[in-house]
Structures are given as structure tokens and as C-alpha cells.
Amino acid sequence: MPVDFSNKSQLGAFGEFIYKKYCESLGFEIERTNYCHTDFVLKTKNTSEPQYVDVKASLKDKPKYHGKRYHDQIAYELMLFLEGEIFLSPDQSSPLHNKGRHSLGSISEWLSKWEKNTEVTNKRESRLDSLSLNNIKQLFSQANYLRIRIVERGDASGKRWTGTVDNLPGSPKVVDGNDATIFIEFSCEDFVEKVSKIYLIWHHLLHTKKIKMSKPSSRQAKKGITEVIDLKLFLSEYPELVFYSLEDLRSYIKNSMSQ
């Protein structure tokens, strides 16, 4: 697939692909995590401690990553795309640090590998434990709402992302096929993911056009998305449907819906 280098998301995905394949070639065990602002967890044979990694891609030459650091446990690995060649500048805490800045080869070679790649990125399992998930679904079921969709979003700090979520409200089929969507935002505190906000989005409010929508971003529009839920307006117009813990949501279901 051709890389649009002006598209930061696509450039980032390309950089992550290269980093993962390169680490595997060196014998590292590397798994995608998307946990607390990270892309991968890297394990070596010589240590039992995993190293969390956030891969950064840049078209500008720089000696190392100078952006915001969210936690000391994260290694920020800088991938540089410069004049047809790719360089890796490992972070101070990286297992690759002793290699220093070094070339990984030509962009054209890696593009060829990416185009031939058939590896499927596994979707991360729910951030909630199965007991919590089953408990929530059971409570809705007891209130005669059997079709509940749960959507999660990590790194839910206001500094990390703003605006809208691609799959809210979702396709017409998704909206028609469910009674409600529970959208859960997570934040990362002391390198532990915690529930930040929970939005209970009733689909009958979507059917009757009572939930305000926003125009999609240019990136979302390219994906065929025509409208997205304005979460800031939802928070101001339906504060009773926004919760700040799972216990608050459980209490709402038990006290308001089971009557």
C-alpha cells in the first residue's frame, strides 16, 4: 500500500510495522499492546522485565525524541524517514540503546515488505475484566435490554485526543441492531489504566435525532464516515447519562432502569 507521508496516522502505522519486524529480526519477543500511550511491549531473553515502547515517526531529522513523556517506563523509539532511507534513534531506556542511531535500510525496500505483509493486527481484548463485562450485560438484560454494545477508548486524556470517535454512532446496521452503546474512556494514571468516563448512549435517542452530531474530520471522511457523535454536547445535554465509574453505572441501571 502506498504511504501518504503527509498523513501522520499512515506514517505512524508504517513506522510501527518497520519497528516490529526489525525487533523480530533481532530475536526480541514483541507484542502489540496499545496500553497507556504505548504501541508495543518488548521482551528480551536476558531480563524478566518487559519494556513498553511508543514508536514515533518523523520526516524531520532530529537526534532523539523531544516530545512529551507520559511515564518513565516507556521507551520512545524515533523512526526517521530521510531522503529515501530509514533510521532508528533508540531511546535512553531502550534495549536497542547501545546500537545508537543506525540505518534500517531504504524506504523502498520496506515499502515492498509492507505491501506484501499479510499479518493481521489482533484487536486488543477488552480493558475491562470479564466479570465486570458480564455483570454489566446481566444488569441490562434484567432490565429487558438485551442488545448492548460496548466501545472502549484508551489514552483518554484531553491532551491525547479531542473531538470525536470513529465508531460512534456506528453504521446504521449497528445502530438498528442494538438498544444502547456503552462508550468507556480510559485514562492512564501511574501507568495503570482506569475508567475516566462512561457514556450511556441510548439508540432510541439516535433514531429520533436527539443526539447532536458533528461533521467528520478529513481523516474520518476518507473512511466513509458521514457523521459522528459530539461527545462534548452529549455531556452537556445528557449529564445523567455520563458516569465516572462502573459502580455509578451499575447504580443507575439498578435504581433507574429496573423500576
Question: C-alpha distances in angstroms, 134 versus 124, 138, 193, 199, 242?
Answer: 18, 6, 20, 18, 20
pLDDT of residue 69: 87
138 and 250 belong to one structural domain: yes
Q: What is the per-residue pLDDT for 70?
A: 83
Whole-number average pLDDT of the chain: 88
Task: Point out the domain boundary residue: 75, 90, 116.
Answer: 116
Between CA 10 and CA 13, with CA 12 as vertex, the angle to 5 degrees is 65
Residue 122 belongs to some domain of the structure = no
Number of structural domains, the chain?
A: 2
Which pLDDT band holds residue 132 (cuts at 50, 70, 90)? confident
Mind listing the pLDDT tens digit for each residue in 134-188?
889 898 998 889 899 999 988 644 444 555 788 899 999 999 999 999 999 998 8
What pLDDT, on a 0 to 100 scale, did the predictor assign at position 155?
65
pLDDT tens track for 8-47: 878 999 999 999 999 999 999 999 987 888 999 998 777 6
Global confidence as pTM: 0.77
pLDDT, tens digit, 9 for 90 and up, residues 44-86: 777 668 899 999 999 999 988 988 888 888 999 999 999 999 9
Amino acid present at 66: H
pLDDT above 90 covers a percentage of the chain that reads: 56
Q: Which of 116, 148, 166 is the last residue of a domain?
A: 116
Dihedral (CA of 64, 65, 69, 71) sign:
negative
The answer as to whether 59 is a domain residue is yes
Please state, in angstroms and as integers, the Cα–Cα distance from residue 46 to each residue in 23, 75, 88, following that order: 15, 18, 22
Indicate if 91 and 184 belong to the same structural domain. no
Residue 70 lies in a domain: yes
Q: What is the dihedral of CA 190, 191, 192, 194, to 10 degrees?
A: 70
| Of the candidate ranges 115-119, 128-132, 158-162, the one whose mean pLDDT is the lowest | 158-162
> In which domain, by residue range, is 48 found?
8-116
Q: What is the mean pLDDT of residues 119-144?
A: 80
DSSP per position, 5-37: TT-HHHHHHHHHHHHHHHHHHTT-EEEE---TT
